[in-house]
Chain A
């Protein structure tokens, strides 16, 4: 019995010590160093306009429907890009609901971007992301949207295309992951160009 009580003391005290060291000191050390070394990133990579208003995070997508904005991927987070309700559609490969949604999105994408009715559509443009907050679209998706945006804003296509390139996050070290166009940063740059 004495063995048992000794071991219970060990269990209680080790739990308390780990709570203090691993759940108190450790996160506070990371907090302190993170705030000093990477202040902007530790606080959410927020994008602020020239009036000082927070317009979003560089890392989180937003929903766009107007022609003058590049449009993000479909989102299953809440009612769309709800950053307090992240997640995917979780619809499987033989889901009829998913097929219905993709059919509708393909038809919308083709008509909005003035594509032929049999044009192939980039997969990312008509499928929901894993987080529902994907900040990126593929380069081909951006290329297909660029003429629409240029027309809606009365800008030369080359100007829009150069902004797309300026707001493309490349693959890390050129090999890791995929390049993607940051939609929110790009749309903010377009608005800044328009002077609003």
Chain B
């Protein structure tokens, strides 16, 4: 843990803190239908045309049910749109490599994955997706699901800030304004910065490069029917083949990476995601990508403070998030820097840490920090392979996801997820002192607590239910890349990632099978939409309540006591739900590694 790495960590937190207020103020303008931004001259006419085409009256607000229905319809329609493109990609243009259509289960999994802001990828991007599929079928959700998340957070914040009303805003207005005024302008600038670092943006067919040193590789011999030739013992016959070229991937990558990060989507253009030099070429591009994952979510905490006229509340939530972030980052960094004693006994320099699955330009620290950031937020981009992390290094991303993606979190989703814990925390505080719990002047009653608990139970039951099913089923076990406790971690990570709408993976798991594609797809749908509906009901209930004036006995929702109470609630719920299964995965693996046990 070198001092230069501490400097980078300090720089990251400092810049994040500095952009939180301007981002929050800008969000305030974007999420106010009458707000003004610098981009009005460009986008105001487009906004008006869009509403006219959609038949939307921007003045009319919706109650929580109408808001939720509009959101669900948008998600459903855009999901079908993506499914159709993926199934028909071989008939559509911009497919210079001539990739075929996706299988029904893979297309289902992928369409759901991008609609739910998860971006779980069962496929290898560079060998599966045409330029059109990447640029249209997937990117539309990178914008749409991010804007949806921000819209929902705004609706919940309005529910908290308003009183004695039935409406929460208009979903269509929030969706379109967020996309046009927030995401698009940021993305254009960010994408160009990324191109300047070396991310590609073109429509050329893949380029053939002549290798300096031709390679001899061993491949299975194929007969006339395209089947591998087997010898008498039933093993495939291998033959040597000389490779003289490297095929270099091309495509419109930079525009996709910009929104992949800003919208906490995380779906890579290529299989190796942000570890690939074409997605993340330099330490600077890496630093900016980490910042952009947190930028909007961090600004939303300021927006919350501004809207509820209690800036201390916004900053308190931000502080609680930062404490959880730093705890995870330090543990992950320490564990990766310490490295793997088994490998060090073989002769690897201990000072180098655990470099399996990591890139030289990022090294230990930036790989550990990226892994923490991407799983705190529900981004799921990876710049190193989490599957090859040390047990405790891999525990951090897994536990971050299981906490519910509330440490900054996915754009919007992080804030509304955290507000569920806030409701729970003030409820617990109320019980402890024997008063009716209040949150910003509103009584928290049984309906609100029921809705909050419902969304937490769905998270836990879906993750553990599916993971348990997979780990006792043949279809679940055949996909494993590692044995022993690490195999359980692979399954647990997959369902946690999908339910939490993260999308990163212990990527050794071969998940492109009908069983995994289907169950993971359902897990993603549950994790997104079954969580959202109770939260919208909560927003509606809060909006309808009266505000009672604060008194001496009111529990303050800012300051140290509140931060500690909130942290306690988050960690307690996470630990009670998941420690038993974590003990069987990464925790026991840590002790087995110290004893030198192999699987």
Contacts and interface: CB of A to CB of B under 8 A. Distances in A.
B191 A133 contact: no
Contact of B339 (A10, A121, A123): A123
Given A93-B589, A94-B593, A56 B209 contact: yes
Given A15-B77, A60-B248, A69 B213 contact: yes
A27 B255 contact: yes
B478 interface: no
Nearest to A12: B77
B584 to A, nearest CB: 14
Interface residues of A, number: 111
B347 A22 contact: no
A152 B192 CA distance: 43
Contacts of A123: 339, 343, 348-349, 352-355
Nearest to A65: B213
A157 interface: no
A92 B73 contact: no
Nearest to A71: B213
A157 to B, nearest CB: 22
Interface residues of B, number: 135
A6 B55 CA distance: 7
Interface string B3-21: 0100110010000000000
Interface in B144-177: 144, 172, 175-176
A5 B384 CA distance: 46
Contacts of B485: 94
Contact of A87 (B184, B192, B272): B272
A45 B195 CA distance: 11
B329 to A, nearest CB: 16
Contact of B388 (A42, A92, A176, A177): A92
B54 A42 contact: no
Nearest to A132: B272
Contacts of A140: 349
Contacts of A180: 360-361
Interface in B253-292: 254-256, 258-259, 270-272, 275-278, 281-284, 286-287
Contacts of B556: none
Contacts of A65: 213, 215
A119 interface: yes
A120 B347 contact: yes
Contact of B507 (A69, A81, A90): A90
Interface string B72-96: 0110111001000000000000000
Nearest to B485: A94
Given A26-B184, A103-B346, A94 B481 contact: no
Contacts of A129: 275, 357-360
B209 A87 contact: no
B213 A178 contact: no
A54 B209 contact: yes
A52 B489 CA distance: 49
Contacts of B192: 30, 33-34, 37-38
Contacts of B342: 93-94, 99
B70 A7 contact: yes
B206 A84 contact: yes
B207 A27 contact: no
B66 interface: yes
Given A13-B50, A27-B256, 11 more contacts: A30-B188, A30-B252, A30-B255, A33-B192, A42-B200, A86-B275, A87-B271, A120-B350, A130-B275, A130-B357, A136-B360
7 contacts: A18-B144, A21-B46, A34-B192, A85-B127, A90-B508, A93-B486, A122-B352
